Structure 1
Amino acid sequence: MDEGALRALVPRVLAALVRRGEDFDAAEDALQEALLEALRVWPEHPPRDPRAWLATVATRRLVDARRSEAARCRREETTYAEPRPAATEEGDDTLFLLFCCCHPDLAPASQVALTLRAVGGLTTREIADAFYVPEATMAQRISRAKRTLRGASMDRPGDLAVVLRVLYLVYTAGHAGRVDLAREAIRLARQLTLATGEPEARGLLALMLLNHARLPARLDAQGRIVTLDRQDRSLWDTREIAEGVRVLQSALALQRHGRYQIEAAIAALHDDAACAEETDWSQILAWYDDLVALSGDPVRQDPAAVLGRAVAVGHVLGPAAGLRETERLRDVLGERHRWHAVRGHLQELAGDLPAAGTSYAAAANLATNVAERDHLIRQAARARAAVP
């Protein structure tokens, strides 16, 4: 059995163990021992049913661990009957485990790490590489998460909104390290949509697909960021776009619009344009109006949405109107690099290149992401060089 097929079995077996009441941490440890045994035994004696084999061996390890603990504590040894295999569907198992990893007692960073470890099957080193932290730091984070779940009630795992947020955090973590986290998030989102009919789950999958389709054009040959309006659209993955549109349409048809569906609709309009000049900014502005309306205090709760709307206003009603929108946001968002970057874009759109150069430079000074900061520095240099 290849590594990919073996990795796919791990969350299913772990979910079955946890579902029947096993401690999360102990179940994962037992499954890891079963995997090591599989690597030793399977090459010469492959099982007929790999999933059942792993579940059986992991269960025996759990029984052995209980007996060992009982002996150390000088208690009477208790005999544990091996429970019957869970009779749940594979999709339900994955969904159950995903929700457990998003348990409300866990911090968001721990939810993301545990999801990648338990559901995604990534190693601790792979997760650490993806988030630019030492392996020991990530190991401690995952261990704390599992300790938090020890004894926690699994009848109140994280709700769907939390699961979707965690998957989106995984996706937006980027493509660093040895594992493409965006592809991993898409894989998990696909499994989630198979297990629930909620339109926001489909909306998130559509959003991921429509954004991921542009990945081949997002960086130039030197690894530098290429903005959407300057990307070579012939490099976009048209199959991924088509799939994203189909998924989005199926979600919107349910008439229960949420933020992921709306963001996916905006992404679809960008993807549908053959060139930047053909972008339907009027429809994009209408969707941004709907997105901003979802929040009671959008400026503080959803600054990305209000800044995106300001850009759309600039393209529909003119850059001066867009800049007036940003002025209304200055008191709250004026210290954020994206506010200055949006100002630079609108000023460049208006032909005020000196002001655009100043705004891009201010954005670069506030940016924390190295690639984005370098991009903004180049934007500032380009605007200043174009000044007569």
Structure 2
Amino acid sequence: MTAEVNDAVAQAFRDEWGQVVATLIRITGDWDLAEECAQDAFALALRTWPRDGVPTKPGAWLTTAARNRATDRLRRAAVGAAKLREVAAMTHEPTVEADEIPDDRLRLMFTCCHPALAPEARVALTLRTLAGLSTAEIARAFLVGEQTMSKRLTRAKQKIKNAGIPYRVPPAHLLPERTPAVLAVLYLLFNEGYSATAGAELVRRTLAAEAIRLARVLVRLMPDEPEAVGLLALMLLHDARRETRLSASGELVTLAEQDRGRWDAAAIGEGVALLDGALRRGRAGPYQVQAAIAACHATAASAEDTDWPQIAALYGRLARLTPSPVVELNRAVAVGMADGPAAGLRLVEALRESGALAGYHLLPATRADLLRRLHRDAEAAAAYREALELATTDTERRYLAKRLDDVEGHR
């Protein structure tokens, strides 16, 4: 099997998994069957593409293969002619009403975000079925154990089956109660693409692009929901820096060291305009506040021109809206830049003593940076070593190792 075919299958998985699974769920109504048949389709691709070549439209090929597998499974299970007719209908696109969003992935998101499901389960299930994230990846995103997450996913699927939750974008009057969970799904999906939780690849561009695409669809569906607009603005403002986050050799480049001339000015302009429109509605939520923080960075002419007092104040507001130790850690960074490293370190030490972020590599990494700036190199080196042990991507480990070498060289 050639490396090119392996790469093509891997790329097809990133690009097409969510669409294949969502389409099968729409037709069969069986979540486990949809995932299993999608997996079978990718396995078939690994066997046949080396012989027949990579198809012109991998997504269509994979959907057809998965559909055929589902047809065979259902026929063997003798579920009845009606169900078989539904599966056969996959060869024809259904008629879409004018007020519907013709995207199975968006239907899948709203189904996963049904209020009958626990909030954590809604997000986790969508990331598993829509984005194809592994259980381990989702568990890390939630800072829980893999076994805990596996049980959560199983219970969520069973709940959908037993409750007969419909696979659809809900009517307009039900949209508000589903929106927070849908936004959370998009946010985690973008974050996993923007900064992967594990592996050799820090940036998974397909996931980030998919999150932005779905966010645009959601904004078209709910143009009067400022948090949906705020989230899209946040994604665009972060994604504008994507090409500068890694060096040509794949090394991590910090925000202060990035070439701002290579940032995507069009994405920044769109993000700022969206944010301004959302804020004018007078209902600033956490995504709008985070977008405002991102806008402070994106519009600063240089790292030295960054308005750190404003960013620290915005993090203070975000902490009141959505209290969390991660927000407090980010506020500590901003305070450390606005008021000096000693002020930031006091906040970090309080977080460390609380144990709220135990096992989270950015806590010791942040502490190490503040100690380095205070010229406490021996303590900084110990903190960098702690962060190195906890980091889950190769890119971050290399960055931390370089920082460790730097402070050890000063001793």
Q: TM-score, normalised by structure 1?
A: 0.69
* Corresponding residue for residue 243 of structure 1: 270
What does residue range 9-28 of structure 1 map to in structure 2 within 5 Å? 23=29, 25=31
* 2:328 paired with 1:306: yes
What is the CA-CA distance between 1:16 and the residue it aligns to? 12
Residue identity (%) = 39
Alignment length (residue pairs): 331
User: What amino acid does structure 1 have at the position aligned with 2:99?
Assistant: E
CA contact (8 A) 1:92 1:195 kept: no
Deviation per CA, 1:85-105: give whole Å up to 9, x if none.
Answer: 453424376654420133426
Aligned residue for 1:180, secondary structure, equals helix
1:378 maps to what in 2? 402
Where do residues 1-388 of structure 1 align in structure 2 (5 Å cutoff)?
Answer: 23=29, 25=31, 69-70=79-80, 85=95, 87-91=97-101, 95-103=106-114, 104=117, 106=121, 108-116=123-131, 148-154=159-165, 159-174=178-193, 176=201, 180-196=206-222, 197-295=224-322, 298=323, 302-333=324-355, 335=358, 336-387=360-411
Distance 1:285 1:131, change over 3 A: closer
SS of 1:91's equivalent? Answer: coil
Letter in 2 for 1:280: D
1:131-185 Cα offsets, whole Å, 9 max, x none, are 699xxxxxxx999976653353436988211111111121111265986111111
- Aligned partner of 1:23: which letter? G
Return the alpha-carbon distance in structure 1 between the equivalents of residues 103 and 258 of structure 2. 40
Q: Per-residue deviation at 1:201?
A: 1.0
CA distance 1:251–1:99, change in 2 (3 Å) = same
Q: Which amino acid aligns with 1:223?
A: G
Residue 275 of structure 1: CA displacement? 1.5
- Which runs of 5 or more structure 1 residues have no equivalent in the other structure? 33-53, 72-76, 118-126, 134-140
Deviations 1:264-323 (A, max 9, x none): 11111111112211110011011011011114xx3xxx2221011111111222221111
Q: Whole-Å Cα distance in 2 between the matches of residues 235 and 110 of structure 1?
A: 36
The list of structure 1 runs, each at least 4 consecutive aligned residues, that deviate by more than 6 angstroms after superposition, is: 26-29, 141-145, 155-158
Question: Structure 1's 149 and 155: CA in aligned 2 closer, same or farther, altered over 3 A?
Answer: closer
Q: Is the 8 A contact 1:285 1:309 kept in 2?
A: yes
For the 8 Å contact 2:25–2:31, the answer to whether it is kept is: no
Q: Distance in 1 between matches of 2:345 and 2:25?
A: 55
Counterpart-to-counterpart distance in 1, 2:275 and 2:109: 22
Provide the C-alpha distance between the structure 1 equivalents of 2:245 and 2:305, rounded to a whole number of angstroms: 19
CA distance in 2, matches of 1:26, 1:289: 43
Shift of 1:129: 12
Deviation of 1:357 (Å): 2.9
Q: Which has the larger radius of gyration?
A: 1
Please give the secondary structure, in 1, of the residue aligned with 2:163: coil
Aligned AA (1:160): T
Q: Is the 8 A contact 2:226 2:284 kept in 1?
A: yes
The CA deviation at 1:352 is 3.5
User: How far did 1:386 drift?
Assistant: 3.8
Distance of aligned partners of 1:179 and 1:343 in 2 relative to their CA distance in 1, 3 Å threshold: closer
Cα distance in 2 for residues equivalent to 1:88 and 1:16: 22
Distance 1:179 1:340, change over 3 A: closer
Indicate how the Cα distance of structure 1 residues 269 and 179 shifts in structure 2: closer, same or farther if over 3 A, else same: closer
8 Å Cα contact 1:225-1:371 kept in structure 2: yes
Pairwise CA RMSD of aligned residues?
4.5
**Distance verdict in 2 for CA 1:362–1:242, change over 3 Å:** same
Shift of residue 367, structure 1, vs aligned partner: 2.2
| One-letter amino acid of the structure 1 residue matched with residue 218 of structure 2 | L
**Aligned residue for 1:46?**
none
Distance 1:179-1:248 versus aligned 2 partners, 3 A rule: closer
Aligned to 2:5: none
Q: 1:218 touches 1:231 (CA, 8 Å); kept in 2?
A: yes
Kindly state the Cα deviation for residue 214 of structure 1 after the two structures are TM-superposed: 0.8
Structure 1 residues 251 and 16 mapped into 2: Cα distance closer, same or farther (>3 Å)?
farther
Whether contact under 8 Å (2:227, 2:284) holds in the other structure is yes
- Whether contact under 8 Å (1:101, 1:114) holds in the other structure is no
Q: Distance in 2 between matches of 1:16 and 1:131?
A: 22
* TM-score where L is the length of structure 2: 0.66
